Structure formats: structure tokens, C-alpha cells
């Protein structure tokens, strides 16, 4: 989903403010909101993928203006409503106001089953795919090529797991991209690594440009 | 927001989903158990014990478990990235706020802010400098965006002046910021520290 949550590489923000932002929580209701959501995940009312996507589905203005823990609360309340645990009416009545929830989800997708054989050192391209539902490939690597530097154990395919579809587990690969390949002539030089699910990747030919010999 | 959260809490208690102690248990874990001192102890031991360091770099989750530090089910792997005099690693989550919170502590406010999420992948050197870590051009930067069930922790470079220090004293040098990778502990990035003088603060 090409939503506001997909922030990597967006421009126009000011500097990072650390002074009063070193603590994880700044108010007691924030701890409560996080605790409620942790409990709901622990009780398998919803999973982490559904939770993340419920945040992503907040109306863009709401997403941008809400604090981090308002987003946590909104996702928890939305999923409790969508799963039939509470009604909007009882939440609004108990809150004494109309509580904004996230917008409905677009359909998800199951994992492709024709996965390429991949290993550390291989060059891969992130498929040029546009996903209406939840996905964990940031837009800044879409269609870009990089090199696999590590492999992680299989975990549920998020594009399915967030949408109540069969989340056949897949390995994930840490792929190293050169920032200058992601944002040519408009970035600081760095190696940017993104964990990518097997289903997001296809094999790529070796690059013609000169890459550092230690890049594997 | 207090009212809305209290409303949801009451509804979920009435339905038996939320236990009376759910909030207190969570508050206790985040304030007393899931702390950066856990990661700091892993680093301090790795600095003193080459065999443990290899274990930590090869399988961070097993190494953490061997010292009694658990990770949630959806944190399937702890990948530990070692800083050297010529390489600096930094972690982020551009899509939300993922961290190895049981090991390095709950994510600070700035880590979850749009400024850090948007900018660290594209302007790493500039952002780190704005945050007080000015890296010479020769130091290569490696950014790790947390987009799967793998979690990351930085193994900071041990400050040379701490050779021979006890594990406990070394652990008290390691900060949450250095485990995330927005700080380095060795001079000239951080002046000589005496963790004994910090006790009680």
C-alpha cells in the first residue's frame, strides 16, 4: 500500500529532535494503549501484520496528525470493531465522542509459489509490484537491484497474514543497496539494507558498475 | 486520548479479553525488564570474550537466550552488526517502529518520529551529524531498515581506554543510543567516561 506510512526517503522533514524525545512513553495513557494492543496480540485477537496494516489504513490526515500511540490505539480499536469484539456505538458511547477508526482494507494476496533459488551473494531485483493491501517492501527499493548479504528463517508472508489469507511462511533476505542507486545524485552515500521476503525478489544480472570488493 | 483509551480498556475488560493486571504487567516489563542494560551486558561480554563475541555475531538470539534474555515469537532472529574503526552501523524502521525491544529497550520517541524514519535511509551522514555523531568521510555507513521479523542490534566499538575493565563496568558504558547506532562510545565521538562516577544518577 503506497500510504503515508511508507516514509523512507521522503523529503521536507526538519532535523530529528532528541532532547525531549529520548523516552519511549510520555503519558500514562500511552502505556495503557500499548498494553492493550500487546494483550490483544498475545490473545491472538489479531496478529502483528493485521496490527501494522490497521495503522497504515488510517485516513492520511489522521495518520500524519496522530501521535504514535494514538495510531496504536486506533489500530487496536479498529481491529476490535472489525473482528466483532466491540461495536462503534459502544466505543463512541463509552468515549463520549465519535472515535475515528481506520478505513477498510483492500484485498490481500497470497505468496507466489514460483520462488527463485537465492543465496548469499546473489544479485536480486525487487519486483516492480504495486500492492493494494499490506506489504513490507518499502517503495524506495521497488524495482531496484541489490545484493543478498544474509538470510533469515521463514516467517508468515505479511501480504497474506494481514488479510486473513493463508500466510505460507517464507525466508527473508537482507539485501544491500547502494543509496546512490536508490536516489541517484540526491542522497548521502551509504549502504542501505532492507529485509525482503522471498516473494518480493527476482534474480538480477550482475551489475556493470564497479562495486566494492567487500560488498558480500 | 485518555478517555478513549479508558473506554476501550473498560469494554475489553467487560468482554474478558483484558485481564485486570494486563496493563500493570506490561508497564512493569517495559520499565523494569526490557531495558538497554540487557544489550549492554551482551556487548560487554562480547568485548571481553572472543568466543562469546563469535556466538553473538553468528546467532544473536541464542546468545541473548544464553544470558537469560528472551525475545517475542515474532522476533525470529537477532542480527548483531559490529562497528569497527572504519564501519558504522545504524538501525531504523522506515515503515513503523520495530526494534529488538526486549534487548535494547523500548524505541525512543525520536526513533518513531517521521523525521528519523524518512531521512535516515537517504541522508544517513547528515542525520547522524544533526544528532551529534559527526562521522569522517572515511567511515562507511551501513543502514539496516527493519522490515521483517529479524531484529538488529549494534555491537559498538569498545573504547580503547577501557581495556581490562570488568564486564559490569563496561556494560554501564553502553547506551541505548549506541545499540541503535546513533552514537559511538570511543573518543573522539564520546570523551573518556567513568561509569563509576555515574552511579546513583
Write the DSSP symbol of residue A35: H
Q: Any alpha helices (H) in chain B, and if so which ranges?
A: 2-14, 22-28, 36-48, 50-58, 60-66, 101-104, 109-112, 114-119, 124-130, 167-171, 176-180, 195-198
Locus of grid cell 515474532: B74
A64-68, B50-54, B69-73, B108-112: the lowest-pLDDT one:
B69-73
The active-site residue out of B43, B92, B93, B178 is B93
Which of B18, B94, B124, B139 to mutate: most A Cβ within 10 Å? B94
Q: Which grid cell is B146? A: 527493519
Answer whether A193's CB lies under 8 Å from A149's CB.
yes
Cα separation, A155 vs A111, whole angstroms = 12
Answer whether B17's CB lies under 8 Å from A43's CB.
yes
Longest alpha-carbon distance in chain A:
63
Chain B nearest C-alpha distance from A208 (Å): 22
Check CB contact under 8 Å for B147 and A136.
yes
Q: What is the pTM of this model?
A: 0.96
Answer whether A122's CB lies under 8 Å from A174's CB.
no
Name B68's Cβ contacts closer than 8 Å, sequence gap at least 6: none
Q: Which grid cell is A192? A: 542501505
Active-site residue flag, B97 = yes
Q: What are phi and psi of B74, to 5 degrees?
A: -80, 0
Cα torsion angle, A52, A58, A63, A66, sign: negative
Cα separation, A157 vs A160, whole angstroms = 6
Chain A nearest C-alpha distance from B192 (Å): 22
Task: Please report which confidence band the pLDDT of residue B81 belongs to, taking 50, 70 and 90 as the band edges.
Answer: very high
Chain A nearest C-alpha distance from B127 (Å): 7
Contacts of B146 in chain A (CB under 8 A): 195
Cα separation, A66 vs A38, whole angstroms = 20
Cα separation, A157 vs A198, whole angstroms = 9
pLDDT given at position B201: 46
Cα separation, A37 vs A75, whole angstroms = 8
Across the interface, which of B17, B23, B119 has its CB nearest the CB of A43?
A: B17
> Coil, helix or strand for B161?
helix
Q: What does the pLDDT profile of chain A (216 residues) look like in tens digits?
A: 999 999 999 999 999 999 888 999 999 999 999 999 999 999 999 999 999 999 999 999 999 999 999 999 999 999 999 999 999 999 999 999 999 999 999 999 999 889 999 999 999 999 999 999 999 999 999 999 999 999 999 999 999 999 999 999 999 999 999 999 999 999 999 999 999 999 999 999 888 765 554 544
Q: Which grid cell is A83? A: 473482528
Contacts of A155 in chain B (CB under 8 A): 74, 76, 148-149
Active-site residue flag, B93 = yes
Chain A nearest C-alpha distance from B97 (Å): 9
Q: Which grid cell is A110? A: 497470497
Check CB contact under 8 Å for B145 and A195.
yes
Please determine, for the modelled complex, whether the ipTM score is greater than 0.90.
yes
Contacts of A85 in chain B (CB under 8 A): 12, 15, 17
Which of A184, A188, A200, A212 to mutate: most B Cβ within 10 Å? A188
CB pairs under 8 A between A and B: 231
Which residues is B141 bridged to in the sheet?
B88
Answer whether B90's CB lies under 8 Å from B120's CB.
yes
Cα separation, A137 vs B71, whole angstroms = 24
Chain A: residue nearest B145 by CA?
A: A194
Across B59-80, average pLDDT: 96
Cα separation, B187 vs B184, whole angstroms = 8
Check CB contact under 8 Å for A18 and B110.
yes
Cα R_g (chain B), whole angstroms: 18
**CA proximity to A77, closest of A113, A116, A49, A40:** A40
Cα separation, B81 vs B181, whole angstroms = 10
Contacts of A18 in chain B (CB under 8 A): 108, 110, 131-132
Task: Supply the angle between the helices A88-95 and B2-14 in degrees, to the nearest 10.
Answer: 130
Amino acid at each position: 500500500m503506497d500510504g503515508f506510512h511508507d516514509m523512507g526517503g521522503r523529503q521536507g522533514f526538519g532535523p530529528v529532535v532528541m532532547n525531549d524525545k529520548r523516552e519511549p512513553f510520555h503519558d500514562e495513557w500511552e502505556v495503557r494503549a500499548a498494553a492493550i494492543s500487546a494483550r490483544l496480540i498475545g490473545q491472538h485477537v489479531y496478529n502483528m501484520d493485521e496490527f501494522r496494516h490497521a495503522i497504515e489504513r488510517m485516513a492520511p490526515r489522521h495518520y500524519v496528525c496522530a501521535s504514535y500511540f494514538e495510531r496504536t490505539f486506533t489500530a487496536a480499536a479498529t481491529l476490535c470493531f472489525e473482528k466483532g469484539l466491540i461495536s462503534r456505538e459502544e466505543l463512541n458511547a463509552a468515549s463520549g465522542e465519535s472515535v475515528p477508526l481506520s478505513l477498510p482494507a483492500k484485498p490481500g494476496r497470497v505468496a507466489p509459489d514460483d520462488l527463485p533459488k537465492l543465496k548469499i551473494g546473489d544479485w536480486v531485483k525487487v519486483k516492480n509490484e504495486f500492492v493494494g493491501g499490506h506489504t513490507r517492501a518499502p517503495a524506495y527499493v521497488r524495482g531496484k537491484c541489490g545484493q543478498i548479504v544474509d538470510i533469515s528463517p521463514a516467517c508468515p508472508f505479511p501480504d497474506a497474514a494481514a488479510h486473513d489469507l493463508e500466510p505460507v511462511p517464507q525466508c527473508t533476505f537482507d539485501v544491500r543497496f547502494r543509496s546512490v542507486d536508490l536516489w541517484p545524485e540526491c542522497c548521502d552515500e551509504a549502504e542501505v539494507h532492507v529485509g525482503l521476503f522471498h516473494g518480493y525478489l527476482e534474480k538480477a544480472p550482475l551489475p556493470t558498475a564497479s562495486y566494492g570488493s567487500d560488498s558480500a | 486520548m485518555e478517555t478513549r483509551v479508558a473506554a476501550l480498556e473498560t469494554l475489553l475488560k467487560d468482554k474478558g479479553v483484558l485481564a485486570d493486571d494486563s496493563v500493570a504487567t506490561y508497564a512493569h516489563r517495559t520499565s523494569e525488564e526490557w531495558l538497554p542494560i540487557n544489550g549492554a551486558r551482551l556487548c560487554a561480554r562480547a568485548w571481553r570474550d572472543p568466543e562469546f563475541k563469535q556466538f553473538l555475531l553468528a546467532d544473536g538470539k541464542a546468545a541473548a537466550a544464553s544470558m537469560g534474555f528472551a525475545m517475542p515469537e515474532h522476533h525470529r532472529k537477532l542480527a548483531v552488526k559490529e562497528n569497527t574503526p572504519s564501519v558504522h552501523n545504524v538501525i531504523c524502521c522506515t515503515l513503523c517502529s520495530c526494534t529488538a525491544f526486549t534487548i535494547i529497550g523500548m524505541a525512543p520517541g525520536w526513533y518513531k518520529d517521521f523525521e528519523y524514519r524518512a531521512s535516515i535511509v537517504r541522508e544517513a551522514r547528515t542525520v547522524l551529524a544533526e544528532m551529534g555523531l559527526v562521522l569522517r568521510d572515511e567511515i562507511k555507513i551501513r543502514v539496516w531498515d527493519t522490515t521483517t521479523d529479524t531484529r538488529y542490534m549494534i555491537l559498538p566499538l569498545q573504547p580503547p581506554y577501557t581495556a581490562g575493565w570488568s564486564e559490569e563496568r563496561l556494560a554501564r558504558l553502553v547506551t541505548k543510543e549506541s545499540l541503535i547506532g546513533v552514537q559511538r562510545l570511543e573518543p573522539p565521538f564520546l570523551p573518556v567516561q567513568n561509569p563509576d562516577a555515574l552511579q546513583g544518577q
